[in-house]
Chains A and B, each alone.
Chain A
Amino acid sequence: MSGVAADRDVCVGAGMCVLTAPDLFDQDDEGLVVLIDESDPDPALTQRAVLLCPSGALRVTGN
């Protein structure tokens, strides 16, 4: 199973992930990324969010 991981220490809250995949990502009260769904239902969309994240906070995990 592949999945997605988000590093909140790296996140700069630009919200590109929420714009790209609103069913996968959200931002908490501080504007930092939170994962709604770690199972990666749409790998192509996840990949797109990873590419677009400006800070490098997101990565694809698993095999």
Chain B
Amino acid sequence: MGEVLTDRLPLFPFLSPGDDPFTPVTGADLRRLDGPVTRVKLPTGGWTWLVTRHRDVKQMLRSDAFSADAARPGFPLLRQSPPQSAEGRRGGFIRMDGEEHLRLRRMLTAEFMIKNIRRIEPLIGQVVDDALTAFQAGQRPADLVAGFALPVPSLVICHLLGVPYADHAFFQQRSVVLLDRSADPLAVRDAVAGLRSYLGRLIEDKRAGATPGDDLLGRLITERVRPGELEVGELIGMALLLLIAGHETTANMIGLSVLLLLQHPHVWERLRGDPAQADAVVEELLRYLTIVRQGLPRQAIRDVEVGGRRIRAGEPVTALLSLANRDADVFDDAEEFDPYREAHQHLAFGFGVHQCIGQPLARAELRIALTGLAARLPGLRLAADPADLPKRDNSIVYGLSELPVTW
């Protein structure tokens, strides 16, 4: 790879200003970036190419010159990787390439396609309604994250997968550790091991029953595990990925969206309007908030050019979705939150073969949760100083860990 002096490179990941969770990269950090594809220093000691333009990020994520396999030596890591066994990674197709990735992903695509998500919209509506009823009945002020933003997607993904929601404290505590780049590597390994054995037991119970159940895990047992197409160790890893990706992301989107919308009172009106309007608001929220703030890590597996830079085989590369989503070549007034714009080109769900498989579910949850809030709590307001809200600066998925509100 050759020697690169990292001392003078800007330190990545960038942090939002403490009092402004909506600015992904400060002006000071932006000024230190030496071009649209530039080297930055990683907290683990090495460096990575940072790709920041919309078209370069698209090209990179669609190219087969990059690997998503974090077990490769030289892969850009934000924390020291825990001493993870091959077993601990099995089934985690978000970090696989080529046929290996496609084989597992394709077992799930039908489950998450728009027409199937449409079928469960009434269920999402019920979950949102019940959560709001409980929230309204509780004390004020109340934490919207713990009382609404987190339980809604958790309940939905538990129902879809066939995981008992009663165990949510167990898996939520561990998923926070998994996503926290400041967590101790051994704590991460224990969190993974705990979640895998929990899901392993659950899957064994379903397999032992006469009918594994009409939920995603049950169906995969009947249709894939029993005929010998899928091994239990792989199913455990797929379940783990879906469980974590399925609630952490949407939960943080809901929390941050509410904070932003409280500063834009007229947008609540749009949400109370027709569903098509709500869809447009949700797309702009996805663009503007881009909660996967630390970008998507990859490693070049052959020499390739991105944005005019020659990237050599073996070099680490990170696609910074948050800046690509503020690219002035694609979005007018990109720094402004504008619920009337056409935001559909945003890259908040990534791009290429790993593009979020859960996006139809995430869109439905966001639309139903936010329109539900708009309809039932029209007097919603913040009950804390926005500068004091605790942010998840060290998490792979950015957001607020608390949002005190009243109404």
Q: List the B side residues contacting A36 at CB < 8 Å.
A: none
Please determine whether B344 and A15 come into contact, CB atoms closer than 8 angstroms: no
Please determine whether A13 and B345 come into contact, CB atoms closer than 8 angstroms: no
User: Which of A19, A30, A55 is in CB contact (< 8 Å) with B110?
Assistant: A30
Please determine whether A19 and B109 come into contact, CB atoms closer than 8 angstroms: no
Q: List the B side residues contacting A48 at CB < 8 Å.
A: 344
Please determine whether B345 and A51 come into contact, CB atoms closer than 8 angstroms: yes
In the complex, identify which listed stretch (B133-141, B178-186, B352-360) lies at the interface while the others stay far away: B352-360
CB distance from A17 to the nearest CB of B (A): 10
Please determine whether B109 and A13 come into contact, CB atoms closer than 8 angstroms: yes
Q: List the A side residues contacting B350 at CB < 8 Å.
A: 54
A-B contact count (CB 8 A): 66
Please determine whether B106 and A13 come into contact, CB atoms closer than 8 angstroms: yes
Please determine whether A27 and B359 come into contact, CB atoms closer than 8 angstroms: no
Which B residues from 101 to 123 make CB contacts under 8 A with A?
A: 102, 105-106, 108-115
Q: Give A52 to B112 CA distance when docked, in angstroms.
A: 18
Q: Give A24 to B102 CA distance when docked, in angstroms.
A: 24
Nearest residue, chain B, Cβ from A9: B102
Please determine whether A27 and B353 come into contact, CB atoms closer than 8 angstroms: no
Q: B89 at the A/B interface (Cβ < 8 Å)?
A: no
Q: A43 at the A/B interface (Cβ < 8 Å)?
A: no
User: Which of B62, B113, B344 is in CB contact (< 8 Å) with A13?
Assistant: B113
Known: A14-B356, A15-B113, A27-B110. A55 touches B62 (CB 8 A): yes
Please determine whether A18 and B113 come into contact, CB atoms closer than 8 angstroms: yes
Please determine whether A55 and B352 come into contact, CB atoms closer than 8 angstroms: yes
Please determine whether A15 and B105 come into contact, CB atoms closer than 8 angstroms: no
Nearest residue, chain B, Cβ from A31: B109
User: Which of A14, A29, A30, A32 is in CB contact (< 8 Å) with B355?
Assistant: A14
Provide the A21-42 mask, 1 if CB < 8 A to any CB of B, else 0. Answer: 0000001111110000000000
Q: List the B side residues contacting A15 at CB < 8 Å.
A: 112-114, 359-360
Q: List the A side residues contacting B113 at CB < 8 Å.
A: 13, 15, 18, 27, 31
Q: List the A side residues contacting B108 at CB < 8 Å.
A: 31
Provide the B333-369 mask, 1 if CB < 8 A to any CB of A, else 0. Answer: 0000000000011000111110111011000000000
Known: A13-B109, A27-B109. A19 touches B114 (CB 8 A): yes
Please determine whether A12 and B102 come into contact, CB atoms closer than 8 angstroms: yes
Q: Give A62 to B65 CA distance when docked, in angstroms.
A: 29
Please determine whether A12 and B114 come into contact, CB atoms closer than 8 angstroms: no
Q: List the B side residues contacting A19 at CB < 8 Å.
A: 114, 360
CB distance from B397 to the nearest CB of A (A): 19
Please determine whether B105 and A12 come into contact, CB atoms closer than 8 angstroms: yes
CB distance from B75 to the nearest CB of A (A): 22
Q: List the B side residues contacting A14 at CB < 8 Å.
A: 109, 349, 355-357, 359
Please determine whether B345 and A12 come into contact, CB atoms closer than 8 angstroms: no
Please determine whether A54 and B351 come into contact, CB atoms closer than 8 angstroms: yes
CB distance from B281 to the nearest CB of A (A): 16
CB distance from B9 to the nearest CB of A (A): 30
Q: List the B side residues contacting A16 at CB < 8 Å.
A: 355
Q: Give A10 to B343 CA distance when docked, in angstroms.
A: 25
User: Which of A18, A28, A56 is in CB contact (< 8 Å) with B62?
Assistant: A56
Please determine whether A18 and B106 come into contact, CB atoms closer than 8 angstroms: no
Provide the B293-337 mask, 1 if CB < 8 A to any CB of A, else 0. Answer: 000000000000000000000000000000000000000000000
7 contacts between A and B (CB under 8 A): A12-B105, A12-B355, A14-B109, A14-B357, A30-B109, A51-B345, A54-B352
Contacts A27-B113, A54-B350, A55-B62 aside, 19 further interface pairs with beta carbons under 8 A come to A12-B109, A12-B353, A13-B357, A14-B349, A14-B355, A15-B114, A15-B360, A16-B355, A18-B114, A19-B360, A27-B115, A30-B106, A30-B109, A30-B110, A31-B106, A31-B110, A52-B344, A52-B345, A54-B353
Q: 3 nearest interchain CB pairs?
A: A31-B109, A13-B109, A31-B110
